[in-house]
Structure 1
Amino acid sequence: MAGIKDVAARAGVSVATVSRVLNGHSGVRDDTRSRVLSAMAELRYRPNAVARSLRTDQTRTLGLIISDVLNPFFTELARAVEDAARSRGYSVVIGNADEQLALQDHHVRTLSDRRIDGLLVSPADGDSAVLREAVRSGIPMVFVDRWIDGLDVPVVRADGREAVRDLVAHLYALGHQRLAIITGPVATTTSNERVDAFRSALCEHGLPLPAPYIGQGDFRTASGRRVTSDFFGLPEPPEAIFATDNLMALGVMDELRRRGLRVPDDMALAAFDDIAWFPHTDPPVTAIAQPTAELGHRAVAALTDLVEGRSADSVTLSAHLIPRRSCGEDERSRR
C-alpha cells in the first residue's frame, strides 16, 4: 500500500505539505494542492485514520445512543445525525439502548473506550451513574430529545406543550369530554412534560384527568394495547386516547381492531410523534409532529462545536399539531 512518503515523492513535495493538504490547512497553493490530490488518486492512497487519531487525539467519530432503533422517530433522527455529521467530516457509531438503562450504560462505556470525539445521547428511563461519570470525565456530550435533570449538558429538544394544548382544544371542539392519556416511562423527561401539558390543557376547558385515565406505558406497542384494554375495563371508558408516542398509538389501534371497534367512531385517537404512515392509515391519525431532521442537525452542530473547542447552548424547537380524521370531523367540514 502506498504511504504518505510515496504521495510526497509522486507530487514532488515534502511530507509536511502532504500532511497539510490532508488536514485542510491553509497556506498551500492551489496548484500544489491539486498535484498532491492527483498523486493520492493515482496511488490509491488512503490516510491511516488510526495513526492520525493518535497524532491529533481525535478520531473524527461521534457516538449516538438512541433509546429504541425500532421507533420511527429515532430512525429518522439517526438518519439526520449521520447526514449532518458526514457533511462536517465526521462518521457516526450508533448504539441502541432498547429502552434499557443497563444497555445504554454498556454503549456509553464501549464508545468511550473507542475514543469517540463526542456523544449524542437520548437517555433511557432512569438516572445513570455511568452517564454522569462520562460527563465528569470531560467527554463532549449533547442530549437530544430527552435529557437528565441536573447535568450540565446542552439539550437539543422540541417543546410540545403548545401543540398538546392545541390537541386538547381540537378534541374539545369535536365534542370529546372524557380524555385519557398513555404515558411513557415514569422518569422520562419528555413523558412527564407531555402529561403535565395534557393535564394543564384539560384544566383550561374545565375537564378532569382522573387517575384511571392515566395509563402507564413504556413507549412500546404492547403497552399501548395493554393500557387500552385496561381503559375498556373502566365503568366509563374514555372517548379519546392521547398516546404520547407513535408506537403506543399503534398499540391502541391494534387493541381497538381486536375488539371490532373503529377509530374515530368508537374511540378517538391522537399520537405524539408523527410518522410517515400515519397519513395513510384508515383513518389517518392526528399527530403532534416534531422537527426531527432539524433536531438531528442542530444536535450535531452543538456537539461538533464542543468537540472543536467552542461553546454550545441548548436549543429548543417547536412541535406542531397535524389534525387528521382519527379524532373525528368537525360538523362544519361535512357541509
Structure 2
Amino acid sequence: MAGVKDVARLAGVSVATVSRVLNDSAAVTGETRARVLEAVAELGYRPNAVARSLRTDTTRTIGLVIGDILNPFFTELARAVEDEARRSGYSVVIGNADERPERQDHYVRTLLEQRVDGLLLCPTAEITPLVRDVVRDGAPLVFLDRTLPGLDVPTVRADGAEAIGALVAHLRGLGRRRVAFISGPALLSTGRERTEAFRAAMRANGLEVPEEYLVAGDFRAGSGRETAARLLDLPRPPEVIFAGDNLMALGALDEIRARGLRIPADVGLASYDDVPWFAHLEPPVTAIEQPVQELGRRAVRALLDRVERRPVEPAVLAARLVVRRSCGEAPENRGDGEGSGRA
C-alpha cells in the first residue's frame, strides 16, 4: 500500500507539502497541488486519519457547538468558522445544542472523545459540571458569541451597545418615543447585555421604558410572535418593536401582518441581527448587523493559539446599525425610494 512518502517522491515535493494539500491548505500553489493530487490518484493513496492522529497526537479537527442551527446567525457563524478552519488545514465537526444544556454536554463529551484538537463553544445559560471540568483540565477551549461568568475562558464576541445606542437615537430622530424591546433569556449573556444596552440607550436619549415594554422571549420566532401580541394588546401600544434577534423579529413581523397593521405607519419594527432577506422585505427592516465573518475568523485563530499554547487575547468586535425603512423615514428622505443607510 502506497504511503505519504511515496506520494511525495512521485510528486517531487516534501511530505509536509503533501500533508498541506491533503488538508486543503490554501498555502500550496495550484501547480504543486495538481502534481500532488495526480500522484495520489496514480498511487491510489488513501490517508488514514486515525493512524495519523495516533502518530502525531493530533486529528487536525476542531469541534464547534452552537446554540441553535435553525437560527440564521448561527448558521452563518458555523460557515465562517468552517471557512477559516479549512484555510488553516483543519476540519470542523459541528454539534447543535438546541439551547439545551444536556444536548450541549452531549456534544462536548462526544467531540472530546473523538479527540478534536480544540473546542469552540457557544455556551447555554448554565455552567454545567462537564464544562467546568473541561475548563479545569485545561483543554483548548474558546467561548464564541456568549460568555459564562466565573469561568476563565477566552471569548470572541460582538458588542452591540454602541449600535443599540445608534438605533435608539435614530428612532428618537424619527419622533418615535414609545419603544418596546423583546429581549432574549436573561440567563444568557447576550440576553442580559442587549437589555442593559437598550435601557442605557433609552435613558441617554431621555426616553422612558415602562416595564410592560420590556418582554422576554427565547430567541425563537414563536416567542417573538407571542410577545408582539402582548405588546400590541396594551392600552398604549409601542410605536416601535425592537426584537433582540432575527427569529423573534420574524415572529413579531408575522403578528403585525396577521393583524393587518402597516409597517411603519402603524408600528415600526427593528431587529438585533441582520439577515440577507431583511433587505428584500417591504419595507426593508432596520437591523443591527454583527460581524459574523470576522467573529468566525477570530474564534478559529484564538482556538488554534490555544492548541499551540500561544497567548490568547479575547476579542470584542463592534456591531453596527443598518438603517432601512421599517421604522419610518426622516423628513428629508421621504419620497426618495428606499431611504436606507448605515450608521
TM-score, normalised via structure 2 length: 0.88
Give me the whole-angstrom Cα distance separating, in 1, the residues matched to 2:53 and 2:165: 49
Shift of residue 133 of structure 1?
Answer: 1.2
* Paired position in structure 2 for 1:239: 239
Cα distance change, pair 275–35 in 1 and its aligned pair in 2 (3 A): closer
CA contact (8 A) 1:66 1:122 kept: yes
Give me the whole-angstrom Cα distance separating, in 1, the residues matched to 2:16 and 2:323: 55
Cα distance change, pair 178–306 in 1 and its aligned pair in 2 (3 A): same
Secondary structure in structure 2 of the residue aligned to 1:277: helix
CA contact (8 A) 1:63 1:92 kept: yes
* Paired position in structure 1 for 2:318: 318
Query: CA RMSD of the aligned region, Å?
Result: 2.3
Alignment of 1:198-237 (within 5 A): 198-237=198-237
Letter in 2 for 1:263: I
Give me the whole-angstrom Cα distance separating, in 2, the residues matched to 1:188 and 1:35: 50
CA contact (8 A) 2:165 2:198 kept: yes
* Paired position in structure 2 for 1:92: 92
Letter in 1 for 2:261: L
* Paired position in structure 1 for 2:26: none
* Paired position in structure 1 for 2:122: 122
| Post-superposition CA distance 1:124-159 (Å, at most 9, x none) | 233322212111122101111111112111111111
* Paired position in structure 2 for 1:184: 184
Shift of residue 44 of structure 1?
Answer: 2.3
Give me the whole-angstrom Cα distance separating, in 2, the residues matched to 1:201 and 1:326: 20
| Post-superposition CA distance 1:150-177 (Å, at most 9, x none) | 2111111111100000000001111111
Shift of residue 232 of structure 1?
Answer: 2.2
Alignment of 1:262-273 (within 5 A): 262-273=262-273
CA contact (8 A) 1:4 1:18 kept: no
2:150 is equivalent to residue 153 of structure 1: no
Give me the whole-angstrom Cα distance separating, in 2, the residues matched to 1:114 and 1:211: 48
Cα distance change, pair 21–251 in 1 and its aligned pair in 2 (3 A): closer
Give me the whole-angstrom Cα distance separating, in 2, the residues matched to 1:283 and 1:318: 26
Give me the whole-angstrom Cα distance separating, in 1, the residues matched to 2:227 and 2:284: 21
Shift of residue 102 of structure 1?
Answer: 1.2
Letter in 2 for 1:217: G
2:260 is equivalent to residue 260 of structure 1: yes
Secondary structure in structure 1 of the residue aligned to 2:181: strand
* Paired position in structure 1 for 2:54: 54
| Post-superposition CA distance 1:156-200 (Å, at most 9, x none) | 111110000000000111111111100111111111111111101
Secondary structure in structure 2 of the residue aligned to 1:270: strand
* Paired position in structure 2 for 1:301: 301
Give me the whole-angstrom Cα distance separating, in 1, the residues matched to 2:247 and 2:2: 51
Shift of residue 276 of structure 1?
Answer: 0.6
Corresponding pairs, count: 323
* Paired position in structure 2 for 1:27: none
Q: Percent identity?
A: 58
Shift of residue 88 of structure 1?
Answer: 0.5
Shift of residue 34 of structure 1?
Answer: 11
Query: Unmatched 5+ residue regions in structure 2?
Result: 21-32, 336-343
Give me the whole-angstrom Cα distance separating, in 1, the residues matched to 2:100 and 2:326: 32
Cα distance change, pair 230–34 in 1 and its aligned pair in 2 (3 A): closer
Secondary structure in structure 2 of the residue aligned to 1:326: coil
Cα distance change, pair 11–327 in 1 and its aligned pair in 2 (3 A): closer
CA contact (8 A) 1:61 1:118 kept: yes
